[in-house]
Amino acid sequence: MLGLAGGVAVAAHRFAVVSGPTVASSEPLPVGPAESPTDYPLLSPVRPAVATVQARYAGAVPREWGVAVSGTRTRLALPDRRLALTFDACGGPGGTAVDSDLLGLLERERLPATLFLNGRWIDANPALAVRLADNPLIELGNHGTQHLPLSVTGRSAYGIAGTRSVAEVIDEVLVNHRRLQEITGVAPRWFRPGTAHCDEVAAAIVRDLGEEVVGFTLNGDSGATMPTSKVQGALTSAVPGSIVIVHMNRPTGDTAEGLAAALPALRAQGREFVTLGGAGALA
């Protein structure tokens, strides 16, 4: 047993704290060769400087806003019988706790899952972040540095003001990207904005930074506010190929109980659980 909800000493070489906007304009980054916010070819190993990314989108005007804008992946490309469970850890005031029951359920039931960790949540739970990275059934995704909606114009969602420029989008993605790479040893592939909201220009910038914006097909717990029966009902309604979003940072919610109640029905339906990386491709 890996003891996901327990503590562990953090080796200095495994965890590096990065605070505040620290983007270096000369540092190369992974990038896809997109030339416009609506052009989304496959990710490429080409690595332009941050300044190149900033220049590429200077003056770009977004036309879309929400949780499923152009460039957002919301389902598995090859559904078969598979579902992808994704768990957000949002950080910040009231959001840095750990749902130990939920993590224990993942471990006990050996459920593959993708966990989107925010930088503030990592700050509050550094040892656990390392422990999660060591679990072969778990994949870590980027949930931003400050959990901000991702915008080039400062748009907000749920009362949270978003990033206001290309430079702020880059900081929101890249600072936590580097932190997760220090923890896991590999660059994160997936990005979910704070509140899951973004515009299509910001989504294109995320691709240029080597990640893809991931939304969801099914909201399984409404920010861990739904009672057990509602979580169970939502999860058992998930169609093959769904990306399910729930939350792992609110232990007072009923997400763990709802998922536990839904598992027998999902397995009876023949559903198989995969990480986003194990899904092959997203659509």
Q: Is 37's pLDDT higher than 50?
A: no
Q: Is 11's pLDDT higher than 70?
A: no
- In this predicted model, what pLDDT tens digit does every residue of 131-142 receive, in sequence order? 999 999 999 999
The H or E element spanning position 83 is strand 82-89
Residue 210 pLDDT? 94
User: Measuring CA to CA, which residue among 219, 186, 165 is closest to residue 53?
Assistant: 165
| CATH of the domain spanning 26-35+44-279 | 3.20.20.370
Residue 49 pLDDT? 79
pTM for this entry: 0.86
Residue 48 pLDDT? 63
Give CA separation, 146 vs 92, 119, 191, in Å.
8, 6, 13
- In this predicted model, what pLDDT tens digit does every residue of 177-235 receive, in sequence order? 999 999 999 999 999 999 999 999 999 999 999 999 999 999 999 999 999 999 999 99
Characterise 275 by phi-psi region: left (phi > 0), alpha (psi -120 to 50), beta (else): beta
CA–CA gap between residue 207 and residue 81 (Å, rounded):
28
